[in-house]
Amino acid sequence: MPMQTLTGTRLRERRQALGLRQSDLAERAGISGSYLNLIEHNRRRIAPDLLARLAGVLGLDMAAFEGSAAGALVEELRAAAAGVPGGGAELDRVEDFAGRFPGWAATLAALHSRAEGLGRAVEALNDRMSHDPHLSASLHEVLSAVSSVRSTAAILADTEDIEPEWRERFHRNLHEDSERLAAGAEALVAYLDAGGQAEEQVIASPQEEVEAWAAAEDWALETAPEGLASGAARALAAAMLARARADRMALPDPAFSQAVQELGPDPAALAARFGVEVLAVFRRLTLRPGAAAGLVICDGSGTLTLRKPLAGFALPRFGAACPLWPLFTALARPVTPIEAVIETPGPQGRRFRARAFCLPRHPGGFRGPELREAAMLILPEPPGAETALPVGSTCRICPRADCAARREPSILTV
Amino acid sequence: MAGRVLLIEDESNIAEAIRFILSRDGCEVEVEHDGRAGFARLAEGLPDVLILDLMLPGMSGLEILTALRADPRSADLPVLMLTAKGQGRDREAAERAGVSAFMSKPFANAEMRARVRALMGLDA
């Protein structure tokens, strides 16, 4: 076991022995609570100056960590060497190198760590580009308009004896394509501008834009949004508002809240009480201010059409969701209530109770097609003896290496 | 140049421009905007050159190309495929399926004329 592993554990044990909360220690050491959490679980390497600050707050002697700091440096150098196969690093002399040239060794280790971080960022961006249908569709739209404009303009410029009828037609086409190009370029610029902001603020698609607005309103869904960038987002928001209004009328308060207290958050029982479809109850339970419940809705292809997150349960922004979610079990078994306790991965894995239901619709009558909509309610679940189904968010960021349902490798180096 | 060209392209303004360019060059140009309809038109008779967009509704350009190459009657039909930049993987797939030539959108009109002439065996 690398010495570094001991450092985080030792810090955690000392903090707990002193009765200090993680957030208190983090604040006094000048770092975030989440970063300290990663350190304490040996998920991040500690810079010597930070280790000194933490040791100071905890009243620990730095000498107790000297061995571990040196051990961590050696581990980092070994990892750097492993990253360059055939690079010729003298692995048998790595400790000698770290001891004789600690400054150079630390620089090399830091560069390796930075290269690793950049590599992960590139992978994540690549993942985003390849899985982002909105970006792909926008680019295709712009390229098509540009192609048409170029060919049409060249015809008008190069053909001196063009018939008036053709000239008029091409002028009309140019006008149409220029408008289309302007709209496409505007949408693309808005998208890329958003991409330049902090990662958590990135708005990638109309759906995300609407969900960001709804989250900012704490899912009240009562008044029309202002400032949505795209027409598609405004249309989605209007549909969401209309549905929420209909749900509020079918399941009015205070009668609905009283029924929830009486029956619990059981969508089937509540639907029977009010004589409404089960999915309306899913929405009414979750899409309201202060509701401590998450909701995901998908269509028949499994595409997530609505994501209301719940703290601790990550929802994928790009690519398909974890196939083990009860949502997809419900999708395959319409009109059958599905319930399971699920558990997220990692040392901070959390348990939730998931209730899922799928409703088929036949807007065209017997001649079809059959459309399906499935929803999954995500509720906090206290620790208990019930066996939990291990699930993730999406394969690309899920660390469960041995998962039988894995579609593609994870970018996480866990 | 005289010859019959079938153009399968869902973008109507691009199709109109190509039809004009090649018609002025002496070609008889037929246009279909849907992959499936275009494929049905091919079954009625083969053109001298097929211009095929990669992304089409109904049936993709790649699906049409693959079906054509599987049929001995159309295995040698000259096919010019229109692609957008950034469709590298699809382009590789089309090469494996036996496409005759590519053109990236946006393209120059003179280049379009030259490619079609070359596929008809005429001097560019």
* A95 and A154 assigned to the same domain: no
Q: What percent of the residues of chain A are helix, what percent strand, and what percent coil, each to the nearest 5?
A: 55, 10, 35
The tens digit of pLDDT for each residue in B86-107 reads 566 777 888 888 999 989 888 8
Predicted ipTM? 0.89
Contact check, Cβ <8 Å, B11/A144: yes
For residue A158, give how far its alpha carbon lies from the nearest alpha carbon of chain B (Å). Answer: 10
Q: What is the mean pLDDT of residues A197-212?
A: 64
Look over chain A and give the mean of its residue pLDDT values, rounded to a whole number.
83
* A183 and A93 assigned to the same domain: no
- CA separation, residue A51 to residues A8, A26, A47, A215 (Å): 10, 12, 6, 38
pLDDT at B28: 95
- Which of A196, A218, A246 is the C-terminal boundary of a domain? A196
Give me the CATH number covering residue B104: 3.40.50.2300
Give contacts of B21 with chain A, Cβ < 8 Å. 151, 155
- The yes-or-no verdict on residue A197 having pLDDT over 80 is no
A217 band by pLDDT with thresholds 50, 70 and 90: confident
- The yes-or-no verdict on residue A309 having pLDDT over 80 is yes
Give me the CATH number covering residue A107: 1.10.260.40
Q: Positive or negative CA dihedral for A377, A379, A385, A391?
A: positive
% pLDDT > 70, chain A: 86
% pLDDT > 90, chain A: 37
B85 band by pLDDT with thresholds 50, 70 and 90: low
The tens digit of pLDDT for each residue in B30-62 reads 999 999 999 999 999 999 999 999 888 889 999
The tens digit of pLDDT for each residue in A284-293 reads 999 999 898 9
- Residue A273, in any domain of the structure: no
pLDDT at A236: 92
Contact check, Cβ <8 Å, A146/B84: no
A84/A71: higher pLDDT: A84
pLDDT at A127: 60
Domain range enclosing A325: 292-414
- The yes-or-no verdict on residue A5 having pLDDT over 60 is no
- CA separation, residue A190 to residues A138, A178, A180, A200, A210 (Å): 11, 18, 15, 16, 15
* A98 and A190 assigned to the same domain: no
Give contacts of A143 with chain B, Cβ < 8 Å. 84-85, 105-106
- Which of A78, A97, A128 is the C-terminal boundary of a domain? A128
Provide the 3-class DSSP secondary structure of residue B119.
helix
* A380 and A302 assigned to the same domain: yes
- Residue A406, in any domain of the structure: yes
Contact check, Cβ <8 Å, A147/B24: no
Residue of A nearest to B53 (CA): A144
- Residue A48, in any domain of the structure: yes
Q: What is the mean pLDDT of residues A224-252?
A: 89
- Residue B112, in any domain of the structure: yes
- Residue B124, in any domain of the structure: no
Q: How many domains does chain B have?
A: 1
